[in-house]
Amino acid sequence: MEDKFIIRGMEFRSRLWVGTGKYKDFEETRKAIEASGADVVTVAVRRTNITDRKSENLLDFIDPKKYKILPNTAGCYTVEDALRYSRLAREAGISDLIKLEVIGDEKTLFPDVIGLLEATEILAKEGFIVLPYTNDDPIMAKRLVDAGAAAVMPLAAPIGSGLGIRNPYNIKIILEQATVPIIVDAGVGTASDVAIAMELGCDAVLLNTAIAGAKDPIAMAHAMKYGVMAGRLAFKAGRIGKKLYATASSPFDGMI
């Protein structure tokens, strides 16, 4: 079943995107990504180990020909850092894609939306395809698109919290006014959470901890794959309206 979506001319087949952090080892990372069916994997930018050159490289396990590599600016708390990491990521990678994070504080890991907006504008002007991680705020989503964001990535809940979509009504408003793809990023805990995101009409979901932190990450990766598929199918099928009272599903005709 072909059901792709497009960001700035780039086609995406999978509506589940995954992170590569917190796994036991690269082999588990590889297996989990394969089980999830994701075609986009997000990676962080960090110093190369120059003293131990025998250490393994993530890209030996994740084939950039098979997956789209989406570098992120995780760990950046200032606009300057986010710009610096983005520019390095573009040189280390193969595309202009960047998942932009400007983090506001360590406890919540909520985005600093003022810095995020500024960085989005600068990077978009430099030709980056900017995918900002933001709050579930419809006004900010609009402002980010005006600043040049190619897609908007509102959080479901704080990063790594596993709380699921805490404000489906805000996500609904973001979707209603959207002129770019909307990808829920962060905070989902289990398969039903991603199904809800897809039922609301989101274009995709990005997650990491929900798989990597599960007791059986490979099994959870499978579950997430089907959660996304079920939610997407339900969205396209068009759910029934919610009503307070019962509606009989059996006919009255023919009753004795």
Torsion of CA 6, 80, 136, 160, to 10 degrees: 90
- Size of site (CB under 8 A) for another protein: 47
Instruction: Decide if residue 14 touches another protein (CB under 8 A).
Output: no
* Residue reference for tokens 């393994």: 56
**Is 48 or 179 the residue whose CB approaches another protein more closely?**
48
Residues 39, 129, 123: CA angle, nearest 5 degrees: 145
**Is 90 or 232 the residue whose CB approaches another protein more closely?**
90
Q: How many CB atoms lie within 10 A of CB 17?
A: 27
Q: Which of 22, 24, 99, 236 is catalytic?
A: 99
| Residues 96 and 127: beta-carbon distance below 8 Å | yes
Q: Which amino acid is at 23?
A: Y
* Residue reference for tokens 């598929």: 229
99 is known as an active-site residue: yes
Minimum Å gap between C-beta 176 and another protein is 25
63 contact partners, CB below 8 Å, separation of at least 6: none
Sort strands 183-185 and 153-154 into parallel, antiparallel or unpaired. Answer: unpaired
* Residue reference for tokens 């002007």: 125
Instruction: Decide if residue 128 touches another protein (CB under 8 A).
Output: no
- Name which position in 6, 92, 114, 139 contacts another protein (CB under 8 A): 92
Q: Work out the angle between the directed axes of helices 168-177 and 138-146 (0-180°, nearest 10).
A: 30
Cα gap 233→219, rounded to integer Å = 21
Site string for another protein, 219-248 (x = CB under 8 A): ------------------------------
Task: With contacts defined by CB under 8 A, name the span among 48-56, 166-174, 217-225, 228-236 that binds another protein.
Answer: 48-56
Q: How many CB atoms lie within 10 A of CB 182?
A: 21
**Is 81 or 234 the residue whose CB approaches another protein more closely?**
81
- Name which position in 40, 103, 124, 145 contacts another protein (CB under 8 A): 103
**Is 53 or 242 the residue whose CB approaches another protein more closely?**
53
Instruction: Decide if residue 20 touches another protein (CB under 8 A).
Output: yes
Residues that bind another protein (CB under 8 A): 18-23, 26, 29, 42-48, 50-51, 53, 57-59, 69, 71-72, 74-75, 84, 87-93, 101, 103, 109, 133, 159-160, 185-186, 206-209, 212
